[in-house]
Amino acid sequence: MLIIRWFALALLLAAAVCFGLYALTGQARYKRIGFAIFKWTVIAGVGFFTVLLIERLR
């Protein structure tokens, strides 16, 4: 569980760094990469909590 939390935090930090680089440089590729990282982090989080909820309901 702790590994998953650290991994999620690292992904959110990577997305924040990408958005920061976009703010500094204005290059659209950093914004695109940041949104992709954030999107997949949210999707993985929803999947993770869905599995937890299903296990809890059993």
pLDDT in tens, 3-47: 888 988 999 999 999 999 999 999 999 999 999 999 999 999 999
Helical residues (DSSP H) of 1-27, grouped into ranges:
2-25
Query: Who's near 48: CB < 8 A, 6+ residues apart?
Result: 4
Position 2 scores a pLDDT of 80
- Output DSSP code: residue 50: H
Residue with tokens 């440089």: 25
